[in-house]
Amino acid sequence: MPIPPLPLQVVTNSSVVCSGREGPDSGHPRVFLAVPYGGEVLCPYCSRRFTRDLSRGSSSQAAAEA
Protein backbone atom coordinates (compact mmCIF):
# COMPACT_ATOMS: atom_id res chain seq x y z
CA MET A 1 0.00 0.00 0.00
CA PRO A 2 1.62 3.23 -1.10
CA ILE A 3 2.22 5.91 1.44
CA PRO A 4 0.41 9.10 0.47
CA PRO A 5 2.78 12.01 -0.02
CA LEU A 6 2.88 14.46 2.80
CA PRO A 7 2.04 18.06 2.02
CA LEU A 8 4.95 20.32 1.35
CA GLN A 9 5.39 22.85 4.12
CA VAL A 10 6.23 26.29 2.86
CA VAL A 11 8.41 28.37 5.14
CA THR A 12 9.86 31.84 4.79
CA ASN A 13 12.99 31.30 6.82
CA SER A 14 16.20 29.56 5.82
CA SER A 15 15.78 27.11 8.66
CA VAL A 16 12.85 25.34 10.20
CA VAL A 17 12.28 23.42 13.39
CA CYS A 18 10.41 20.17 13.09
CA SER A 19 9.20 18.19 16.05
CA GLY A 20 6.80 15.89 14.29
CA ARG A 21 3.08 16.01 14.28
CA GLU A 22 0.98 17.55 16.97
CA GLY A 23 0.21 15.24 19.83
CA PRO A 24 1.94 13.51 22.71
CA ASP A 25 2.89 10.29 20.96
CA SER A 26 3.35 11.14 17.32
CA GLY A 27 6.19 13.61 17.63
CA HIS A 28 9.95 13.17 17.52
CA PRO A 29 12.99 14.97 18.96
CA ARG A 30 13.10 18.55 17.81
CA VAL A 31 15.42 18.98 14.88
CA PHE A 32 16.64 22.03 13.04
CA LEU A 33 16.60 21.73 9.29
CA ALA A 34 18.26 24.09 6.85
CA VAL A 35 16.02 24.84 3.91
CA PRO A 36 18.04 25.42 0.74
CA TYR A 37 17.07 28.39 -1.35
CA GLY A 38 15.05 27.15 -4.29
CA GLY A 39 15.10 23.62 -2.95
CA GLU A 40 13.53 21.55 -0.27
CA VAL A 41 14.59 19.58 2.77
CA LEU A 42 13.24 16.33 4.11
CA CYS A 43 12.85 15.68 7.80
CA PRO A 44 14.68 12.44 8.59
CA TYR A 45 12.23 11.58 11.33
CA CYS A 46 8.78 12.17 9.95
CA SER A 47 9.53 12.62 6.23
CA ARG A 48 7.83 15.98 6.10
CA ARG A 49 9.16 18.17 3.36
CA PHE A 50 9.88 21.86 3.69
CA THR A 51 10.49 24.35 0.94
CA ARG A 52 11.28 28.04 0.85
CA ASP A 53 8.70 30.61 -0.15
CA LEU A 54 10.65 32.44 -2.82
CA SER A 55 8.08 35.18 -3.28
CA ARG A 56 8.72 36.45 0.21
CA GLY A 57 12.27 36.97 1.29
CA SER A 58 14.90 39.46 2.24
CA SER A 59 16.63 39.33 -1.16
CA SER A 60 13.70 39.95 -3.44
CA GLN A 61 14.61 41.08 -6.92
CA ALA A 62 11.02 41.66 -7.96
CA ALA A 63 10.59 44.33 -5.32
CA ALA A 64 13.41 46.33 -6.88
CA GLU A 65 11.46 46.85 -10.06
CA ALA A 66 9.31 49.90 -9.51
Binding site for Zn ion (CB under 5 A): 18, 20, 43, 45-46, 48
Residue placing its CB nearer to Zn ion in the complex, 10 or 48: 48
Nearest-approach distance from CB 48 to Zn ion, in angstroms: 5
Residue placing its CB nearer to Zn ion in the complex, 18 or 41: 18
Nearest-approach distance from CB 43 to Zn ion, in angstroms: 3
CA distance 44 to 46: 6
Burial label for 5, CB within 10 Å (0-12, 13-18, 19+), is exposed
Biggest CA pair distance of the chain = 52
Return the SS3 of 65.
Answer: coil
Residue placing its CB nearer to Zn ion in the complex, 10 or 45: 45
